[in-house]
Amino acid sequence: DTAVSQTPKYLVTQMGNDKSIKCEQNLGHDTMYWYKQDSKKFLKIMFSYNNKELIINETVPNRFSPKSPDKAHLNLHINSLELGDSAVYFCASSFTANQPQHFGDGTRLSIL
């Protein structure tokens, strides 16, 4: 029933580890996004994909690698985690650009 689902909801790990966050949408949307919300609650786009193609890469470090195996999935893999990566990561989707976006519940990543 969930429109945009992210897993896991919470992720606690140590500096230097590699982790992945999965995102799936069942809305039939063509476009998917990853956003980062920092400790001051400020949202910033990281990536957007349209029909599995990367459209926006907003100067995100190479340690972050999105993967879109199909239109319904956009996963985020992070290598060599750093303290500054601690944040809430939101996945979202829309039919295309300039359409209302549907957000997942967020994944709270904490780096020890």
CB under 8 A: which stretch of 14-22, 68-76, 79-87, 90-98 binds another protein? 90-98
Residue 32 burial (C-beta neighbours within 10 Å; 0-12, 13-18, 19+): buried
Query: What part of residues 92-111 is at the interface with another protein (CB under 8 A)?
Result: 92, 97-103, 105-106
CB nearer another protein, residue 15 or residue 54: 54
Residue with tokens 């949202």: 43
Q: How far is CA 104 from CA 3, 15, 45, 89, in A?
A: 8, 25, 14, 9
Positions that interact with another protein (CB under 8 A): 31, 33, 35, 40-45, 48, 50, 55-56, 58, 88, 90, 92, 97-103, 105-106
